[in-house]
Structure 1
Amino acid sequence: MEKSEATTIEVAETSRERKGKAPLLAAPVPADHHAKAAGNKRGVAIFDLILRISAAAAALGATIAMGTAEQTLPFFTQFFQFQASYDDLPTFSFFVIAMAIVTAYLVLSVPFSIVCIVRPVAAAPRLLLILCDTLAVTLATSAGGAAAAIVYLAHNGNSDANWLAICQQFTDFCQRVSGAVVGSFITVALLIFLVVLSAIALKKH
């Protein structure tokens, strides 16, 4: 009887140990969950494409507005004229070049955005877009910020540095450069949204 009870206790303990050490099986993820995640990422990719096209249009408008900013004040003689042009200031020239680069990038990035719509779970094109979008944000911000400082001086001047406000005379010129700066800031805002959307799309569901 003692051997039988000992054998029964050992078997019970062994079964308990095996039961405690049994591997836990993960519950299978339902197929509709993956389909829903892919659908959400596809929706984000479509919104990304719309914002990308809008940002390209804003950057193009800013580039054209600044690149065509020029005004000549009318005077009685042709030999004595006051003229203002964007290429008179290196800051505005840099603005045109930088925003032209941003515009070209946004146009070239549209096919990659379409790829993200067709293949919403692909991570490689989304990683490329988020990297290049960040660089574009940096370039557009530097160009817009530098141009905004010059536009502020053109509107208000600076008596300490003997900078005269020229916008009272060159009204058309100042309107165009001001509009270009506003367009660049719109581009920056849209690019920031694009970076955020790419980060959301890369998030695992």
Structure 2
Amino acid sequence: MKGGSIEIGEVSKGASQRKGMKRGLSIMDFILRIVAAAATLGGAVGMGTAEESLPFVTNFMQFRAEYDDLPSFVFFVLANSLVCGYLVLSLILSVFHIVRSSAVKSRVLLIVFDTVMLGLLIAGASAAAAIVYLAHNGNSKANWFPICQQFNNYCQQASGSVVGSYIAVAFLIILILLSAAAISRH
């Protein structure tokens, strides 16, 4: 800056740095969407394939535990599947933001849909976490006994799926914050 005026090189340098910062945020957004999609897919597949059979008296009579025995687990699988599908589809907009880092309206749209998907994912993960807690600990006041002592593999798989879903929740929160930061730098 000379004598109170800004040189052209300083202005273009600042604009270039801002554009580079937005592009970096867009690349990070793309990577986080892929990781979050993988976490939700893992949660849905893990819970959807959770099943275990235990013999009762003879091998012809068995107790079975499957994810679709409990509506909360069905909701969990559906919520994770929907969020995974959304995240895969939102990769298109994420690539658009890498190419055109100055887009604002599409970022606002992503924030809105990311927030809706975050709510859906938290609802599904919370419902499943409550059932997993009961499966591990039971509830003596309601006379519900823990089943994880008998169905150990089933409970481990269900617990892992819930953890994967909460990891995706954390990534969605970070995605919302990244999009808000990219908009605020506009």
Category of TM-score, reference length = shorter chain: over 0.9
Deviation, structure 1 residue 81: 0.9
Partner of 2:162: 181
Paired residues of 1:115 and 1:125 also in contact (CA < 8 A): no
1:20-99 aligned at under 5 Å gives the runs 30-75=11-56, 77-99=58-80
Deviation at 1:75, TM superposition (A): 4.5
Q: Give how far 1:52 is off.
A: 0.5
Shift of 1:80: 1.6
SS at match of 2:61: coil
Identity rate of aligned residues, in percent? 54
CA contact (8 A) 2:55 2:61 kept: no
Partner of 1:110: 91
Q: Does the residue aligned with 2:58 lie in a helix, a strand or coil?
A: coil
Distance in 2 separating the partners of 1:105 and 1:151: 26
Q: How many residues align?
A: 181
Unaligned runs of 5+ residues in structure 2 are none
Q: What secondary structure, in the 3-state scheme, does the structure 1 residue paired with 2:52 have?
A: strand
Rounded Cα–Cα distance in structure 2 between residues aligned with 1:32 and 1:128: 30
Question: Would the aligned equivalents of 1:73 and 1:83 in 2 still touch at CA under 8 Å?
Answer: yes
- CA deviations over 1:16-65 (Å, ceiling 9, x no partner): xxxxxxxxxx9688122111111100000001111110000000000000
Q: 1:153 aligns with which of 134, 138, 141?
A: 134
Structure 1 residues 85-137: Cα deviation after superposition (integer angstroms, max 9, x where no partner) = 11000000010111100000000000100000000011122111111111111
Instruction: Output the TM-score relative to the length of structure 1.
Output: 0.84
- Structure 1 contact 157–164 (Cα < 8 Å) conserved: yes
Shift in Å, 1:74: 3.0
1:119 paired with 2:100, answer yes
User: Radius of gyration: which is bigger?
Assistant: 1
How far apart, in 2, do the equivalents of 1:75 and 1:151 lie? 23
Question: Which residue of the partner structure matches residue 171 of structure 1?
Answer: 152
CA distance in 1, matches of 2:71, 2:185: 45
Q: Does 1:202 align with 2:183?
A: yes
| Structure with the higher fraction of residues in strand conformation | 2
Q: Pairwise CA RMSD of aligned residues?
A: 1.7
TM-aligned CA deviation for residue 76 of structure 1: 5.4
Q: List, as ranges, runs of 4+ consecutive aligned residues in structure 1 with deviation greater than 3 Å.
A: 26-29
Gaps of 5+ in 1: 1-25
Which letter maps to 2:138? G
